[in-house]
Structure 1
Amino acid sequence: MEGVAAEEFGVGDHQYICVLHKDTKEQHIHIAANRVGFDGKAAKDGNSYKRMSAL
């Protein structure tokens, strides 16, 4: 799931880290990513809540 989400947000080829939270009733992940990739291009971050909800 983490890799799919990273690809969906255009950061699959960027530096990123995923953290799985199991300490709450609902397991969930956090993805912290560098918006600027190794190619120097920035990933788009608009409407991230809508895009995550759709994913």
Structure 2
Amino acid sequence: MLMTAERGDVVLDQDVQEITTLIPGLTVTRVSDAGHMIPWDNEAGFYAAFGDFLGARLD
């Protein structure tokens, strides 16, 4: 899983495109209203994205 931040400049769209060509089947999630520190900026969004990946809700 690759989790990126909507407001982050660490992993750019072109980086995601390149990474997905290198890792087939990679799950990519972008968390809205979050910067570099995703859990601090949008804790609920972080848990939702991670829970989706795991297939189980995280609270």
- Structure-2-length-normalised TM-score: 0.29
Per residue, is there more helix in 1 or in 2? 2
Per residue, is there more strand in 1 or in 2? 1
- Structure-1-length-normalised TM-score: 0.29
